[in-house]
């Protein structure tokens, strides 16, 4: 018997990706697609690539009968999300893909996002959605906060190393390269094909990217002391993909061992043989994360590179993985699609 789900914010890229994944899931039934400005439009109008699916039209949120819904995905912009979720039934299972419930501390939220949080109580209730590290809490949660896509990638590299104590905590650098879909379906000049294609640049340089809020929260919690990393994202002319290059002090073999141990039984995170390097090409369109470890020519320095698809493992795939846990389904259900290469 299928369970019924709703997607709020179905007209954005993470919404489309949720639908793409659920289309072959088999045990989930999309009962409602909610949108703002595109309410009233059919799925074929909003996303012609999904026109083969027999799904309801986009509707305003107030037209959705949430009492029939087993789980609701919220793929809304941050700030909007907390307002909308505040108005949903208190017993509705929710996977939020926005930034609104990632930070547990209201002050941290306000610092990084510039406005006071409108649903502080729910902020406390929310479980951080990095599946591999919060699996049990997620399974029992009502509200799960999907992680930032960059934040997920960095944590896949660094969490096991911090936990295992195999790296220094005061000189961690994460140089990250991400494709353009991470910025969403937003009409900004720098996201135009003519502005982006064939060139690349750093942005949010110097420690101003909001995903640092997640790194600070999670790494400090893990280490039992404050950990602040350096983090520079770069915008790359590709639609999907995050490649994070981590520079750490620590022995490469210990780093590789720590990662291998943690991920050995994980269905989606794969540590490559020592010395191999991942590519975003090889995870595109899939829920997989590949991690490679190499020792530097400078003794005691190690480079760890991770690749995942920001829309899948970094966002909608993670959301579905968490929803599977929350609904008592097989965690990998609907998520074993092979990457689409070339």
Residues 205-234 that bind a second copy (CB under 8 A): 205-208, 212, 228, 230, 232, 234
Q: Does 303 bind a second copy (CB under 8 A)?
A: yes
- Of 147, 131, 149, nearest in space to 263 by CA: 131
Q: Dihedrals φ, ψ of 174, to 5°?
A: -125, 110
Q: Tell me which of 173, 221, 223, 264 binds a second copy, using CB under 8 A.
A: 173
* 8 A C-beta contact, residue 129 and residue 319: yes
Shortest distance, CB of residue 60 to a second copy, whole angstroms? 21
Shortest Å, Cβ 290 to a second copy? 8
- Given the complex with a second copy, which of 31 and 238 has the nearer CB atom? 238
Q: Reading across the β-sheet that carries 93-96, which strands appear in turn?
A: 58-59, 28-34, 3-8, 71-74, 93-96, 143-145, 127-128
Asked whether position 138 contacts a second copy by CB under 8 A, the answer is: no
Nearer to a second copy, 260 or 279 (CB): 279
- Cα 100 to Cα 122: distance, rounded to the nearest angstrom: 10
Label the pairing between strands 93-96 and 28-34. Answer: unpaired
Is residue 149 among the annotated active site residues?
A: yes
Nearest CB to a second copy, comparing residues 85 and 292? 292
- Show the site string, 317-336: x = touches a second copy by CB under 8 A, - = not: -------------------x
Q: Is 92 exposed, middle or buried (0-12, 13-18, 19+ CB in 10 A)?
A: middle
Minimum separation from the CB atom of position 248 to a second copy (A) = 11
Of 131, 280, 321, 324, the one binding a second copy by CB under 8 A:
280
Catalytic, out of 72, 149, 178, 289: 149
Site for a second copy contains 281 (CB under 8 A)? yes
Q: Which is nearer to a second copy, 52 or 124 (CB)?
A: 52
- Which residues have CB under 8 Å from 110's CB, separation 6+? 116, 117
Q: Which two tokens stand for residue 48?
A: 């012609």
What the block records as the tokens of 88 is 């949903």
Binding residue for a second copy, selected from 107, 202, 223, 264, defined by CB under 8 A: 202
């Amino acid at each position: 018997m299928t369970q019924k789900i709703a997607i709020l914010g179905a007209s954005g890229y993470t919404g489309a990706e949720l639908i793409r994944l659920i289309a072959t899931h088999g045990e989930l039934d999309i009962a409602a697609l909610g949108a703002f400005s595109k309410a009233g439009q059919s799925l074929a109008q909003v996303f012609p690539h999904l026109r083969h699916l027999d799904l309801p039209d986009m509707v305003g949120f107030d037209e959705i009968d949430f009492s029939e819904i087993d789980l609701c995905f919220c793929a809304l912009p941050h700030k909007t999300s907390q307002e909308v979720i505040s108005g949903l039934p208190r017993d509705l299972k929710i996977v939020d893909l926005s930034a609104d419930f990632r930070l547990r501390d209201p002050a941290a939220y306000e610092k990084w996002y510039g406005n006071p949080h409108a649903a502080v109580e729910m902020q406390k209730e929310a479980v951080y959605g990095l599946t591999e590290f919060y699996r049990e809490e997620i399974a029992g949660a009502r509200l799960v906060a999907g992680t930032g896509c960059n934040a997920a990638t960095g944590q896949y590299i660094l969490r096991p190393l911090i936990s295992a104590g195999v790296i220094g905590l005061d000189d961690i650098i994460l140089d990250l390269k991400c494709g353009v879909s991470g910025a969403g379906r937003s009409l900004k000049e720098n996201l135009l094909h003519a502005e982006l294609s064939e060139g690349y640049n750093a942005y949010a340089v110097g420690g101003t990217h909001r995903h640092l809020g997640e790194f600070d929260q999670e790494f400090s919690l893990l280490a039992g002391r404050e950990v602040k990393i350096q983090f520079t994202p770069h915008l790359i002319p590709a639609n999907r993909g995050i490649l994070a290059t981590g520079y750490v002090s620590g022995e490469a073999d210990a780093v590789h061992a720590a990662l291998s141990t943690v991920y050995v039984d994980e269905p989606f995170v794969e540590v490559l043989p020592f010395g191999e390097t991942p590519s975003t090409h090889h995870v595109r369109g899939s829920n997989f994360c590949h991690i490679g470890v190499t020792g530097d020519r400078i003794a005691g320095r190690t480079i760890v590179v991770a690749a995942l698809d920001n829309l899948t493992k970094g966002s909608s795939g993670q959301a579905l993985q968490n929803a599977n846990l929350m609904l008592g389904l097989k965690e990998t259900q609907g998520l074993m699609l092979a990457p689409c290469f070339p």
